[in-house]
Chains A and B, each alone.
Chain A
Amino acid sequence: MSRARIPYRAVTAIQGGVFILFCLIVLLPMLTPTAARAQTQTNESERAIPVPNPSADLWREVRQREGIVAGRSQVAGVDSGTLINPYGETWRNFRMQQLIPYSGYLLAGVLLLLTLFYFILGKIKVDAGLGDRKLFRYTLYERTIHWFIASVFLFLALTGLILLYGRPLLIPLIGQEGFSLLASASKEGHNLFGPVFAVALLLIFFRFVRRNIYQKGDLTWLLKGGGIIGKRHVPSNFFNMGEKSMFWLLALVGVVIVGSGLVLVFPVFGQARITMELAHVSHAVTTVLMIAVILGHIYIGSVGMEGALDGMTTGYCDLNWAREHHAQWAERCEQEGEVVSESEVSSQRGEAAGGPAAPSGMQESGQ
């Protein structure tokens, strides 16, 4: 069997492709089926024959207007004494009238913003150009858990978006039967991979938390908008203020996502329907927020910035890139003699024949 080598150039191209594909998946359904949906609604309203419900008055009385009225029942279980939970309607209205449209606008807005950003500013280049000197940035373990959480997150985001927007957006495209199959598959996959995401989040948190504690100079970075305000790069440490803030946002939001997800996926611990509704709302709001932030992260890592992805694919980043975006960290590495040449990196990675042996400080297998 021939040996397969997967060059990292290919990996980089795949990352760019993944970002574009992700954008298309999120954006396309939001733009295309509006007309079809309107047509379907018109047809349905034309076909509908108004038949008054003879039990409407009875059920209106049972509903008892506002608040949950619990009666007595022989049936054991949570909410078994409640015939109608009026908050269910509140939750449904919120989901249909606020959550779905506004979260859709948010995601579409973020995608539009990133697209505009790309077409106006283009790919942010390294001013000094990419050189042949590298700095070791991420260990194998760090890269592995990063791509682990990335792949699980993409799967969860895709299946979650299908569940959230599928009814209004996908049914006009693939029909009710097709969507019911897709929704069932998405729900099962989403439920099964949810706890896997919790594991990945824990691994990421404990590995990166120390480097994400705020330091002196972070505020300066923030005040200068990370270099957007003014023309000079703002010096930062291993992670800049933006990356640290994203880490903490994701850690905190992640806890809400995982917690609310567990409440939803294990409805066997006595949680009432109203708890499930609140869990669903917080789960949906926080995940949409997280997807919006991660879209920015994917953009920077793929097509937005030259040299940003290298550290997470090869473990090494370009020295010039590090000097411009993480000057304090790069300076410290240079003082400690951690700069290595590209040929040393290639040799160590087995990508070039011959070449000098890798220095002992190069930690490829650091776990």
Chain B
Amino acid sequence: MIGQLIDGPLWYFSLAVFGVGMLYRLYSILRAGVKPDLAPPRAGGGAGALRNLFSRFVPRRDVATRGRLTLIAGYLFHLGLFALLFFAQPHVDFLAERITGFGWPALPYWAFIISAELAFVGLLLLWLHRLLHPVTRLLSSVDDHIGTGLVFLVMLSGCLALAQAFEPLRLLHLFLAELLLIYFPFSSLMHTFTFVFSRGYTGAMMGRKGVNA
């Protein structure tokens, strides 16, 4: 009964909340618009936006030195999670069956495991840093901890279900993933998409001013 609920209605509900909520949030950002810049532009904003979007993936030297732990852990977590989410064989099969209707090449098992381990190392270090650093601790809201905790639980339950031999473990993983999907649009996890807007806006603004930011 619970299994059918998790596998059926709750999955579609969480997917709908995620899709609608995410689109609404993005639409709200776009609809808010920006103040008109009355100064004559020195260069095009588009190029600046594009440059800023990608150049920010490489940290400045002082940031890379002072925040080495968060930098390395951040990359480990995000890259590991991306690989895990979209290129683990069970996820490829699930997405192909439930959403896309087609599959794509998956990572070999060993690479999938290493991705998961890197993601765990990164997530744990980042969460501990958030809790222990006086500044990030004060800046962090309950939302940040719930988001991090949910991502951690989804990853952990997925790792516990790796044998794919017990239905309750798979359902637990799916249920936690559904909770995450429902929570996602209302949380700071939206930075998955909004980072493009914030970087693009800053880059465009700087580009128009002729600043190589």
Contacts and interface: CB of A to CB of B under 8 A. Distances in A.
A354 interface: no
Interface string B140-161: 1111110000000000100111
B124 A192 contact: no
Interface in A174-219: 180-181, 184-189, 192-193, 195-196, 199
B165 A140 contact: no
B163 A140 contact: no
A152 interface: yes
B141 to A, nearest CB: 5
A143 to B, nearest CB: 5
Contact of B132 (A140, A151, A181, A189): A140
A9 B103 CA distance: 50
B142 A192 contact: no
Interface string B63-78: 0001111000000000
B140 to A, nearest CB: 7
Given A147-B132, A185-B161, A193-B120, A367 B137 contact: no
Contacts of A192: 113, 116-117, 120, 159, 162
B163 A152 contact: no
B141 A3 contact: yes
Interface string A1-33: 111111000000000000000000000000000
A364 interface: yes
Interface residues of B, number: 37
B25 to A, nearest CB: 14
A224 B99 CA distance: 69
Given A1-B142, A4-B145, A143 B132 contact: yes
Contact of A184 (B129, B145, B166): B166
A3 B144 CA distance: 10
Contacts of B169: 181, 184-185
B66 A365 contact: yes
Contacts of B140: 3-4
Contacts of A199: 121
B128 interface: yes
**Majority secondary structure of chain B interface residues (helix, strand, loop or mixed):** helix
Nearest to A185: B160
A312 to B, nearest CB: 9
A50 B67 CA distance: 69
B159 A364 contact: no
Nearest to A364: B134
B163 A350 contact: no
A140 B120 CA distance: 20
Nearest to A159: B160
Nearest to B135: A350
Given A181-B169, A196-B117, A1 B124 contact: no
Contact of B133 (A145, A187, A365): A365
B68 A367 contact: yes
Nearest to B70: A367
B125 interface: yes
Of the four ranges (under 10, 10 to 19, 20 to 34, 35 or more), the interface on chain A belongs to 35 or more
Interface in A119-150: 140-141, 143-145, 147-148
A103 interface: no
B91 to A, nearest CB: 16
B131 interface: yes
Contacts of B129: 140, 144
A196 B115 CA distance: 11
Interface string A353-367: 000000000001101
A148 B137 CA distance: 17
A37 B159 CA distance: 31
A230 B163 CA distance: 56
B133 A364 contact: yes
Contact of A2 (B138, B139, B142): B142
Interface string B185-207: 00000000000000000000000
B73 to A, nearest CB: 9
Contacts of B168: 181
Contact of A187 (B66, B113, B117, B163): B163
Contact of A5 (B117, B138, B162, B163): B138
A193 B158 CA distance: 13
B163 A184 contact: yes
B141 A2 contact: yes
Nearest to A180: B166
B178 to A, nearest CB: 19
The 5 A-B residue pairs whose C-beta atoms are closest, nearest first, are A185-B160, A188-B162, A349-B134, A4-B142, A1-B141
Interface of B: 66-69, 113, 116-117, 120-121, 124-125, 128-129, 131-135, 137-145, 156, 159-163, 165-166, 168-169
Given A3-B141, A148-B125, A188-B163, 17 more contacts: A1-B142, A4-B141, A4-B142, A4-B144, A6-B131, A147-B132, A180-B166, A181-B166, A188-B161, A189-B156, A192-B113, A192-B120, A193-B120, A196-B117, A348-B134, A350-B138, A364-B134
16 contacts: A4-B141, A4-B142, A140-B133, A143-B128, A144-B125, A145-B125, A148-B124, A181-B166, A184-B163, A184-B169, A185-B160, A187-B163, A196-B121, A350-B134, A350-B138, A364-B134
Interface of A: 1-6, 140-141, 143-145, 147-148, 151-152, 180-181, 184-189, 192-193, 195-196, 199, 313, 348-350, 364-365, 367
